[in-house]
Chain A
């Protein structure tokens, strides 16, 4: 199995001036292509920090992080933006759709940053919205959509640039159980079609559906096990 994510002795220290907080104390993590990984842990465990590092929103204080074979250390902000654009698709708990533009325009944003031509952008956005079952609502603004629908738009947006990994941060945290199950269904389908997904959650039900569960506590990985079945 080919490794998409390779973290070696990753540390992250937040220097607030007075106090230094070590959020991650040496993480070693390999995630292979086609895995559906749940990262679980209590709040304050370093989950969010790990998610920021995985998504290239932040860089580690020390350690080596390779995403799709590409070194993430020592790059400029703009290069980091480019890596995010090509390799990471984000799904957030609070959706983070831009409220004043339509669903389709939201899905088109990563394509715009990726340098895709306008017609191709529209075609792909339409295709992806169809795939998450929102093809007919392409011209709705996020405020005109339900939470579950918004999250589906966000998933379509995350898929737009055909990234190496989908990084979901508590994707069902703001949804009722039905919509949550819906979203989880989509994730499972994506996984079955060969996508690599990393889901950060504290929801045990969600974690049970992952092929692998990584637990962190106090900045360290405390357990890493594979589930027999995920369906």
Chain B
């Protein structure tokens, strides 16, 4: 006869727990399971939402602001300002064919945008047309982004952020085709940006600005110094070497030490998203630990009940021992019993948590600022696996220690008269 057979037979024939007690034990585990699942689901939702929001700015981007040199170079003292030009973006693109794109941005802050009798002060941004893809400026249906012809012919066309479009036209779909005066020059609205929740911001949120072709800007405003240069690489790994190469090229052109990190202020989004990922893992671990602790309290409840059960069944254990039961045949049915309570509680908890998370999925995120940032709680297979493993360990421990006490019962002492 195998041990398993003996253990299962004993488990099936062992006395039942009082209903109320079993229920409370199972409820405690269920409560802990719900807590850990909701916390982890919340963390997962937050992670996904932040990831989405981060991607709304663009991926594999680095922004370079003009700065001042901090190192002497070829006889020139430190402290010289570096002022890149718009055409530097084109030069970078030409000299670095591996770049996905490079563009320059120029900004006219607080510029008057007039439609009919309505004037709104807004930010007007001019950029190369690759800006649209890099910076996730996708047009709403019926609109379009700046194209090559716009750039070549210096057309007076404008692409509006959705919030700015609403400010001017009330309904963003009413904007396309309208003529807007920018600093008293007429521009045709060609598109309105699709709504996005954006996390990484420089200058201001994209939904609040208007974008015009950079060639048009040059001829109307007569400025050719870039506000920022932005490069986009094809992969995140390519960013570090690309930035080094950019500084070599620009260093040669403007005469600064390529290792001088003050000549340009650099925002390497690849690097900062790595930091965010680490932080998110930290948040998830923290949430998991909090949930795990709640679950452990449930486990302590199971262990407590099992200790009480061992005490109550001392005589039963003694009888079995007198009849020849070995320690393992005493221990394992108890462990199995604890596992069953843990399993049932876990199953109940998973069911409740799944229902709650599903219900929360029906709460609309649109227009809800908090939800737009936090995202929707999401259960993933990984969360299920982690929770099951924790449940299993807790069940084993909650059964094992009381069972060991059971196996230590002295049959001679328990069987003596009533």
Contact = CB atoms under 8 A, between A and B. Distances in A.
Interface in B126-177: none
A99 B16 CA distance: 11
B15 A57 contact: no
Interface in A114-135: 114-117
Interface stretch (B61-69, B83-91, B282-290, B312-320): B312-320
A93 B412 CA distance: 14
Nearest to B9: A112
Interface stretch (A60-68, A75-83, A204-212): A75-83
State the majority secondary structure of interface residues on A.
loop
A77 B1 contact: no
A140 interface: no
Interface string B276-315: 0000000000000000000000000000000000000001
Interface stretch (A27-35, A84-92, A179-187): A84-92
A58 interface: yes
Given A100-B16, A112-B10, A113-B329, A81 B321 contact: yes
A110 B323 contact: yes
Interface string B5-23: 0100110011110000000
B202 interface: no
Nearest to B16: A100
A98 B316 contact: yes
A3 interface: no
Contacts of B15: 98-100
Nearest to A167: B322
A195 interface: no
Contacts of A99: 15
A173 to B, nearest CB: 8
A117 B9 CA distance: 12
B244 interface: no
Nearest to A115: B1
A73 interface: no
Interface residues of A, number: 35
A96 B319 contact: yes
B415 A96 contact: yes
A105 B321 CA distance: 16
A45 interface: no
Nearest to B328: A78
Contact of B323 (A58, A85, A115): A85
Contacts of A110: 323-324
A86 B323 CA distance: 9
B349 to A, nearest CB: 29
Nearest to B10: A112
B78 interface: no
A214 to B, nearest CB: 20
Contacts of B415: 57, 90, 92, 96
A41 B87 CA distance: 115
B17 to A, nearest CB: 11
A109 interface: yes
Contacts of B315: 96
Interface string B377-413: 0000000000000000000000000000000001110
5 contacts: A81-B321, A82-B324, A84-B323, A96-B318, A113-B320
